[in-house]
Amino acid sequence: MRRKPSDSSSTAPSGTQKTYAYHLVDHLRWRVRERLHAQWARNSGDLENYFEAADGWEETAMIGVL
């Protein structure tokens, strides 16, 4: 009987998704640095939470947990 492959790999983002995420975070940080974020962010707390989540994801990915 053949075993089905583990579905755990399907939860990790593909290389293209990772690249897009890095570019998106880089762009958002540029907007904050240039003070362009006020046009779309409701408050800085939302933006900080997003960056913390993105930074946490990056650190997790770098140590191979994802």
Give the pLDDT confidence score for residue 9 in this predicted structure: 52
Tokens coding 49: 């939470």
CB atoms within 10 A of CB 1: 2
Domain residue spans of the chain: 14-62
Q: Which residue has the tokens 């990790």?
A: 12
Straight-line distance from the first to the last Cα atom of the chain, in angstroms, rounded to the nearest whole number: 29
User: Does residue 13 sit in helix, strand or coil?
Assistant: coil
Please write the tens of the pLDDT for every residue from 24-51: 888 888 877 777 665 555 555 666 666 6
pTM exceeds 0.75 for this model: no
Asked if residue 66 lies in contact with residue 12, where contact means CB atoms within 8 angstroms, the answer is yes
